């Protein structure tokens, strides 16, 4: 699990959110062309995420516990803005690209929402630990 956290722990900034079809073609950008958000993972398996509501999508904000295994992650929400309620689970498939983390709401070959997160500086990673 330590190796898993080495790749996740830190502060990430949102660079893109796309709804894609089963072939991977972009259908829409629900948060517009310049989405704003941050994702934080701590060494003791806590997380927090905030995405500003832009375009047709509403704001997202929740915090809780996180677990990861292989290419899957699970967030257990402890507090959040509606519709993210206490003890709700959010699961995603993780795709790693150099310097990026790309959780998607479903598996390849099916329509899904992909969020592209860019790791902030190594100094930010040290603070999150």
Give, in order, the Cα–Cα distances in Å from 38 to each of 27, 110, 115: 23, 26, 11
For 101, other C-beta atoms within 10 Å of its C-beta total 21
- Greater model confidence, 69 or 20: 20
Confidence of residue 128 (pLDDT cuts 50, 70, 90): very low
pLDDT at 89: 75
Residue 84 or residue 25, greater confidence: 25
Alpha-carbon dihedral of residues 79, 117, 59, 124, nearest 10 degrees? 60
Whole-angstrom distance, CA of residue 3 vs CA of residue 27: 35
Query: What is the residue-wise DSSP string for 76-127?
Result: EEEEESTT--TT-EEEEEEEEETTEEEEESS-TTS-EEEEEEEE--HHHHHH
Reply yes or no on whether the pLDDT at 72 is more than 70: yes
For 80-101, the pLDDT digits (tens) are 988 887 777 777 777 767 778 8
Average pLDDT of span 41-52:
93
Q: pLDDT averaged over the chain?
A: 82
According to the model, what pLDDT value does residue 46 have? 94
């Amino acid at each position: 699990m330590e190796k898993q956290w080495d790749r996740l722990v830190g502060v990430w900034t949102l660079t893109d959110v796309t709804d894609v079809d089963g072939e991977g073609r972009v259908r829409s950008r629900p948060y517009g062309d310049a989405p704003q958000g941050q994702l934080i993972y701590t060494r003791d398996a806590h997380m927090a995420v905030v995405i500003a509501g832009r375009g047709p999508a509403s704001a997202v904000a929740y915090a809780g516990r996180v677990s990861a295994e292989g290419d899957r992650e699970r967030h257990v929400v402890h507090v959040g803005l509606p519709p993210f309620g206490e003890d709700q689970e959010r699961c995603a498939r993780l795709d790693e690209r150099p310097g990026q983390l790309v959780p998607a709401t479903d598996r390849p070959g099916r329509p899904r929402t992909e969020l592209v997160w860019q790791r902030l500086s190594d100094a930010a990673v040290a603070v999150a630990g």
